[in-house]
């Protein structure tokens, strides 16, 4: 998308690919120094990370090296190079405390940028929250315009923790409260690059616009399917025709309204688009690939 808009893009990753111009990790300071010296970089989109599935494959130190030190490397070198804009791909996962994860409350938890205090439940969330803090400090101390995008789920592969629904059914349900398409995630990053000079520093939740409001929270936890049917009367029949199930309970909802308002950004795909595709018999508006394997799977190094 950046190249289509006429930008010169230098892609760095530990995995070879069509968009990898430099092979290596953000934890490699000397490599990054060469990249900044060889290219006139005026903006950085920092999406490199070890993430939740990597917890089973990598020690905690690797998360610190990639997610924290790697972020610091990029911030310092971007500042030294005179780059004016920095966008960090963060995660909604850092907003989920163990109490929220346990779903003990009687109502769905409404999550937006004001939610807190933040108490990430694993090394992934802890290190991504630290990375956000480094961005905030670099804005305050050096004037680097930094926007943080806490993205919800947009992966194409099967979920590794939920097995009671088919992958497409699970993904469709998540557009109600915690998922967005990879295309919308990319478009949000472009919008953030454009708005960074005007905003300076800010944090945004990225998730498809929810059809619910805060007054629905208690009923969503108790009987989500009924709430969905009120908003989308034909959804139960369309789901039944596919052998799908509407969610019985929704325990948390991500509110992305701040991103739409402050970034001037509109998500192209929401749950209404999913229902429309079911109604018309057209392709589902999201990617599901149960055989998908990340290019970095099996590699020893962290993603760059």
The three-point CA angle 59-116-260 to 5° equals 100
Q: Which residues make Cβ contacts (< 8 Å) with residue 113, sequence separation at least 6?
A: 150, 203, 204, 205, 258
Provide the whole-model pTM: 0.94
CB-neighbour burial class of residue 287 (10 A; exposed 0-12, middle 13-18, buried 19+)? middle
- Measured distance CA(38)–CA(32) in Å, rounded: 10
Tokens representing residue 55 in the block: 């917890």
Question: Phi/psi at 160 (nearest 5 deg)?
Answer: -95, 5
Beta-ladder partners of 45: 87
Greatest distance between any 2 Cα atoms in the chain: 59
Residue labelled with tokens 């090296």: 65
Tell me: cis bond preceding 94? Omega within 30 of 0 counts: no
Query: DSSP string of 193-222?
Result: HHHHHHHSEEEEEE-PPPS--GGGHHHHHH
* The two three-digit tokens of residue 61, written as one number: 């130190």
Query: For residue 44, how far is the Cα from the chain centroid?
Result: 17
pLDDT in tens, 55-103: 888 999 999 999 999 999 999 999 999 999 999 999 999 999 999 999 9
CA distances in angstroms from 6 to 1, 2, 3, 78, 298, listed in the order given: 9, 7, 5, 21, 34
Taken in order of first residue, the domains within the chain and their CATH numbers are: 3-280 (3.40.50.720)
| Two structure tokens written together for 49 | 């990370």
* 294's tokens: 């990340």
pLDDT at 297 (0 to 100): 65
Name the 3-class secondary structure at 91.
strand
Burial class (CB in 10 A: 0-12, 13-18, 19+), 248: exposed
Residue 170, CA distances (Å) to 93, 186, 211, 218, 268 in order: 18, 22, 17, 21, 19
pLDDT score, position 299: 54
- The residue among 220, 200, 87, 68 whose CA lies nearest residue 140 is 200
Task: Give the pLDDT score at 290.
Answer: 86
Q: Which residues of the chain have pLDDT under 50?
A: 300-304
In angstroms, what is the C-alpha Rg of the chain?
20
For residue 183, how many other CB atoms are within 10 A of its CB?
Answer: 16
Q: Strand ranges (DSSP E) for 29-154?
A: 43-46, 85-91, 109-111, 145-151
DSSP letter (8 states) at residue 108: P
In this structure, what token pair is assigned to residue 222? 């108790």
């Amino acid at each position: 998308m950046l190249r289509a808009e006429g930008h010169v893009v230098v892609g760095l990753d530990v995995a070879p690919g069509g968009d990898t111009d430099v092979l290596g990790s953000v934890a490699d300071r000397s490599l990054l120094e060469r990249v900044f010296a060889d290219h006139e970089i005026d903006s950085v989109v920092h999406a490199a990370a070890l993430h939740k599935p990597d917890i089973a494959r990598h020690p905690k130190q690797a998360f610190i090296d990639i997610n924290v030190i790697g972020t610091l490397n990029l911030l310092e070198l971007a500042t030294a190079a005179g780059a004016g804009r920095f966008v960090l791909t963060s995660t909604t996962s850092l907003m989920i405390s163990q109490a929220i994860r346990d779903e003990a409350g009687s109502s769905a938890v409404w999550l937006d940028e004001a939610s807190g205090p933040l108490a990430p439940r694993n090394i992934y969330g802890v290190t991504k929250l630290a990375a956000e803090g480094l961005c905030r400090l670099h804005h305050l101390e050096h004037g680097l315009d930094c926007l943080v995008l806490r993205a919800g789920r947009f992966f194409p592969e099967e979920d590794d923790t939920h097995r009671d629904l088919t992958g497409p059914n699970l993904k469709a349900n998540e557009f109600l409260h915690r998922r967005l398409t990879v295309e919308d995630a990319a478009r949000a990053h472009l919008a953030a690059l454009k708005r960074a000079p005007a905003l300076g520093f800010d944090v945004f939740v990225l998730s498809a616009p929810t059809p619910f409001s805060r007054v629905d929270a208690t009923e969503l936890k108790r009987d989500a399917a009924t709430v969905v049917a009120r908003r989308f009367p034909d959804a139960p029949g369309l789901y039944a025709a596919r052998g799908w199930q509407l969610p019985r309970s929704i325990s948390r909802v991500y509110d992305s309204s701040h991103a739409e308002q402050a970034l001037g950004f509109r998500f192209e795909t929401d749950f209404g688009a999913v229902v429309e595709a079911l109604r018309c018999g057209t392709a589902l508006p999201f990617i599901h690939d149960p055989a998908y394997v990340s290019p970095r799977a099996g590699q020893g190094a962290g993603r760059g």
